[in-house]
Amino acid sequence: MSTQQSSGAVGNIIVDGQKLWDDILETAKFGGTAKGGIKRLTLTQEDRQVRDWFTKACEAVGCSVSYDSLGNQFARRPGTDDALAPITMGSHLDTQPTGGKFDGIIGVLGGLAVLRTLHETKRETRHPIELINWTNEEGSRFAPAMLCSGVFAGVFTEQEALDKKDREGIRFEDALNGIGYRGVAPCGDHPVAAYFELHIEQGPILEAEHQTIGIVTGVQGMRWYEVTLRGQDAHAGSTPMRMRADALVTAARMIDAVQKIALENGPDAVGTVGLIENTPNSRNVVPGEVFFTVDFRDPDDGVVQKMEETFYRIANDLAEKAGLTLELARVWDSPAVHFDVECIASVRRSAETLGYPARAIVSGAGHDAAYMARITPTSMIFVPCAGGLSHNEAESAESDDVTAGANVLLRAVLETDMRL
């Protein structure tokens, strides 16, 4: 066989699993925590460091790297017909405040492994192949999640993203300018032929069933809410119980209601309160104000709507009975997503050809792929994570499984290049 491989067949090329694993460990140093996880919030200096690394690593395998007006990074490998829209891979390099080494990260580094393999084998493709590092996927600093892929897909405006503030009042635009990754090209002004995303499952199903690959058929619906309750700060020792306007007690009742609502709406429904701010947060002061978030999810948008309506009713009743002021707002609505049947089939055939145990699965977590599916044929590839644990410093995955996912990604991309 010549060193210049033809694009006429997928062939049997595979990624370098050891190099992929080395990349995972190396990038984990940017924002690494004492417990072995990563704190790499979007648009921080740690984010800038990993972006710089990403640029150099992609350039080393023959790609050009650019970034748009919201800092989304694009590593491009030319095709034999460079006028064609690129087939893309992607995920994110930002993390939760106590995040792990794999969530999102293997989607970017697995894509890098694909680009490296194509480069080292001199494999030609008709379409350009691009790898995307999306800005602010987690939403842990600037809500909501998947903000910049959302702008790319036309769900939000660029100005909406630039005006977002973190809990310290820092604007997204200022933070982006601060790390030097604000490009000129408008976010979304970028053609795409198809999109694939590799990710850990973030749940226990694949591991429990001894499946190596999850063939992701879609993403469940999800909505986020912000709740503010205002009562009256008062002295804890001299204010009688019957005369208090205790915001925290009522907030606790609402939080309990979130769990009950989810439990009452079927086996797939979930409800979570993950962020609480209590003011003034002093041991001898009756709390006068509480802010908290609510997250409802289900594969059926109708169930999500029912949970929302029930929570609104209960929250208003509880606030009124306690004599408190209630502010309740939906801040994010991501309807259930169904991925492209041909892209799903490419993932399935790739897993079968490589001999990996696989099963169809719906994603319980949100991903950039959910927004990309609105504008281009899309699918995802899951691999197991230990105990289904994610958004945690102890998050873990096996090197062989990550490599398997990258190999499926490689074949799915090459098959799609021939099909489109």
The binding site for Zn(2+) comprises: 92, 103, 138, 199, 391
Find the DSSP H helices in 323-398.
341-354, 368-372
**Quick check: 108 and 92 in contact, CB under 8 A?**
yes
DSSP assignment string, 261-286: HHHTT-TT-EEE---EEEES--TTEE
Provide the token pair at 91: 């995920």
The Cα 361–Cα 218 span in angstroms is 8
Q: Which two tokens stand for residue 87?
A: 């087939």
Other C-beta atoms within 10 Å of 179: how many?
Answer: 18
d(CA 287, CA 247): 6
Answer whether 45's CB lies under 8 Å from 179's CB. yes
Which residues 6+ apart lie within 8 Å of 26 measured at CB? 53
Alpha carbon 279 to chain centroid, angstroms: 30
Strand partners, 334: 222
Q: By three-state DSSP, how is residue 161 classified?
A: helix
Residue numbers in the known binding site are 92, 103, 138, 199, 391
Q: How far is CA 231 from the centre of its chain?
A: 36
Task: Taking each helix axis as running N to C, give the angle between helix 105-120 and helix 45-59, from 0 to 180 degrees, rounded to the nearest 10.
Answer: 20
Is the Cα dihedral 152, 157, 162, 163 positive or negative?
negative
Per the structure block, which two tokens stand in for 310? 């029930």
The vertex-50 CA angle with 49 and 53, nearest 5°, equals: 90
Q: Using CA atoms, how far apart are residues 220 and 240, in angstroms rounded to an integer?
A: 46
